[in-house]
Amino acid sequence: MNNMPKIRLISALTAVFALTGCAVGPDYLRPTASLPTAYTEAAPAATQSQVETAWWTHFQDPILNDLVDQALNKNADIRIALARVEQAAAAARESGAAFFPQIDADVGGTNRKLSMKTATWSANSKQRIDTRSAALTTSYELDVWGRIRRSNEAAQASLLASQYSRDAIRLTIAGLISNNYLALRAYDAETAVTAESLASREASLKLVRSRVDAGLVSPLDLYQAEGALAAIQAQAATLRLQRELSEHQIALLTGNPGLKIAVGDLRQLPMPPIPPADLPSSLIEGRPDVRQAEENLVAANAGIGIAKAGYFPKFSLTARFGNESAALADLFSAGANGWSLGMGLLMPILDFGRTAARVDQAKALNQQSVIAWENTLQTAFKEVRDALVSLRENSTAEAAQNARVASAQKALDLSQKRYEAGYSGYLEVLDAQRTSNEALLAMIATRQARLAASVDLFKAIGGGWKDTAKQAG
């Protein structure tokens, strides 16, 4: 007969555990992405090279490679993102620990004097009761309705979301480094062009001064030549300023305040591989920010189950095993041990709509997450299209700018010869010099825009693409 309570308790536990296979709330189903299957803006490619994740290496610039590596290791935003991942991992471990019972040590002692006015006692009763105890206790919530499982599901999704957020920040930082580096190299190229123009205008000024001294031309030519030289000198100062500011920005991004970058030239950088004509739109589903948005959606979906679990009773187990005695000396003596095992049920009866309100909040949050995921996906698709159009049109513009530079240089050469021969005034030379300088700067700016479009494309598709032809083979 003494075993009957245990048998009943075990039977009740068996019935409860049989229910733990269910989890209230909807299981996650990925929404359908309503996007075109491919990008119509992609131009046909002569070769379809496989692009690695470290896409910046395709600029074949060791300085850029080193700068990106520094940034990925030292950038403050990335380090903060890593700390957030560690925080989310710890939260996920905490959530997973709820699957197991917590065991505590309970050691205590009480001294109590009974009231003569309220206590029922006789002459042989003690007015004072002393108790000393030492025991192990545990409590455990049975996950009958899946509340703990849904909580763990949400925590794991949040962990993945934080990891994808870190990856998105890494991608952004690599893009910022690349674009700032391209801008710096553009300033280097423009400075080189300006130095050539400066030398040319100094030579022109020398020629004009000699012709003025000889009385062959008006002093007006001298004033115009001096003004043109001053304009180029101001242009050189502005370019030096912009280059230093770009260098400072890269120093901040790399976490290296004293960074100095040697002079280079944008025109020496090769063009990265161009995308294949059949670039699939599904590539953007692997973008870190898109995957982060989906994991946030998974967590929000699990939140509905957590809220709905509030409609159902909670089952809990408690246990205690230890010793108890009136005197500390007898605490671990024979006969002082004892144990208890219990099961509890907490059933909501009337909460005036609190649980329903929590469920509605969870559903609304889930709807927000769905919309955020769709918007992130559509934004990614738009960014890829923008980058493809920019890459295509800037490629066309660069070819036109190169033709413009060649024509402007021919016009400058001819105007200088005509002036030296006395067939034209100096104003014609000034106009040709200005046109040539502007053409060279525009050509460099267009090439920078074309290279920047490549960076934007790499970022937009999450880092690169794979050769579908090789995969099929």
Examine residue 137 and state whether it is found in any structural domain, yes or no: no
Note the pLDDT of residue 50: 42
Q: Which two tokens stand for residue 429?
A: 């030379």
Position 184 confidence tier, pLDDT thresholds 50, 70, 90 = very high
Position 21 pLDDT exceeds 70: no
Report pLDDT digits (tens) over 426-448: 888 888 989 999 999 999 999 99
**Mean pLDDT for the stretch of residues 463-469:** 56
Examine residue 383 and state whether it is found in any structural domain, yes or no: yes
**Phi, psi (rounded to 5 degrees) for 190:** -65, -35
3-class secondary-structure state, position 131: strand
Position 148 confidence tier, pLDDT thresholds 50, 70, 90 = confident
The DSSP result for 336-373, as a single string, is: -EEEEEEEEEE-----TTHHHHHHHHHHHHHHHHHHHH
Examine residue 345 and state whether it is found in any structural domain, yes or no: no
Examine residue 338 and state whether it is found in any structural domain, yes or no: no
Examine residue 473 and state whether it is found in any structural domain, yes or no: no
Domain total in the chain? 1
Position 176 confidence tier, pLDDT thresholds 50, 70, 90 = very high
Position 20 confidence tier, pLDDT thresholds 50, 70, 90 = low
Q: Which element (helix H / strand E) includes 133?
A: strand 128-142
Task: Give the residue with greater pLDDT, 284 vs 396.
Answer: 396
Note the pLDDT of residue 117: 64
CA nearest neighbour of 28 among 323, 297, 357: 297
Report pLDDT digits (tens) over 321-337: 877 777 776 667 777 77
Question: Rounded to 5, what percent of the chain is helix, strand, coil?
Answer: 65, 10, 25
**Phi, psi (rounded to 5 degrees) for 318:** -130, 145
Domain membership of residue 64 as a residue range: 23-91+146-313+357-466
Examine residue 437 and state whether it is found in any structural domain, yes or no: yes
Spatial contact of 205 and 217, defined as CB atoms under 8 Å apart: no
Burial of 271 (0-12, 13-18, 19+ CB in 10 A): middle
- The DSSP bridge pattern shows strands 337-346 and 314-325 to be antiparallel
CATH number of the domain where residue 182 is located = 1.20.1600.10
Examine residue 6 and state whether it is found in any structural domain, yes or no: no
Note the pLDDT of residue 473: 36
Note the pLDDT of residue 75: 92
Report pLDDT digits (tens) over 331-373: 677 777 778 888 888 888 888 999 999 999 999 999 999 999 9
